[in-house]
């Protein structure tokens, strides 16, 4: 079974802190994604990566950066957390560029106070 | 990617079939139709996908209209564990990108 794991289920940080959200997948997938999910807005894509050291902006990249140094790991970085970044963050991975399903992690609920 | 329209919510009685509709009137010839669902407190999970022909798997069936402007996800016997938000998503394989656009989906409530 494909497994996508995220470093924390719940996280509380203060405004201005630097925040790292880690995601690891164990299926040697090329593609990895970071989404945020907010009530009434569905899932919105922040960044994605289709190869090591490659990254592409999604729909809402402002205030975020990412890092992919190894194929299995994709990190989302909030350089200076703000209260409007309080959200559920979901990581996903998929194989190749064809019609492949995305596998999601359980999510990290981040609260910025 | 072309957009989809789904009802905000639907209800079904347990052990009855459920038909979840999706409209995608601007679908292109290279758009695949994907369905995902999100159970409470979990990440989304893949349900099924198709291009032109109807598709069946262990979870559900996907019925695609002949003009491809709409589709229906069919759960043959709803259980309480099927209560979730169901997302209908189009993905254009010609772009090479593998990201999916999730709308707000349909929240399915299953009544015991």
Helix (H, G, I), strand (E, B) or coil at A101: coil
Residues 6+ apart with CB under 8 A from A62: none
* A100/A94 Cα distance (integer angstroms): 6
What tens-digit pLDDT sequence spans chain B (112 residues)?
568 999 999 999 999 999 999 999 999 888 899 999 999 989 999 999 999 999 999 999 999 999 999 999 999 999 999 999 999 998 877 766 667 788 889 999 999 9
Q: How many CB pairs under 8 A join A and B?
A: 58
Tell me how many helices (H) and strands (E) chain B has: 0, 9
Query: Does the distance separating the beta carbons of A106 and B104 come in below 8 Å?
Result: no
Query: Does the distance separating the beta carbons of B101 and A92 come in below 8 Å?
Result: no
Residues 6+ apart with CB under 8 A from B4: B22, B23, B24, B88, B89, B90, B103
Chain A residues inside the 8 Å CB shell of B96: 97
Residues 6+ apart with CB under 8 A from B29: none
């Amino acid at each position: 079974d494909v497994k996508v794991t995220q470093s924390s289920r719940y996280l509380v940080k203060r405004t201005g802190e630097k925040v790292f959200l880690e995601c690891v997948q164990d299926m040697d997938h090329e593609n990895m994604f970071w989404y945020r999910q907010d009530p009434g807005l569905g899932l919105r894509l922040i960044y994605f990566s289709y190869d090591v050291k490659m990254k592409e902006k999604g729909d809402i990249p402002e205030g975020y950066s990412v890092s992919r140094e190894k194929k299995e790991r994709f990190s989302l970085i909030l350089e200076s957390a703000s209260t409007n970044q309080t959200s559920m963050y979901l990581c996903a991975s998929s194989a190749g560029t064809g019609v492949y399903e995305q596998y999601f992690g359980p999510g990290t609920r981040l609260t910025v106070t | 990617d072309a957009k989809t329209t789904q009802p905000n919510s639907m209800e079904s009685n347990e052990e009855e079939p459920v038909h979840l509709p999706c409209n995608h009137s601007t679908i292109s010839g290279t758009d695949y139709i994907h369905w995902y669902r999100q159970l409470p407190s979990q990440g989304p999970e893949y349900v099924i996908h198709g291009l032109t022909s109807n598709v069946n798997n262990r979870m559900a069936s996907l019925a695609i209209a002949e003009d491809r402007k709409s589709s229906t996800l069919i759960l043959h016997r709803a259980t309480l564990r099927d209560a979730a938000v169901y997302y209908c998503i189009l993905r254009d394989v010609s772009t090479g990108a593998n990201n999916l656009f999730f709308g707000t989906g349909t929240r399915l409530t299953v009544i015991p």
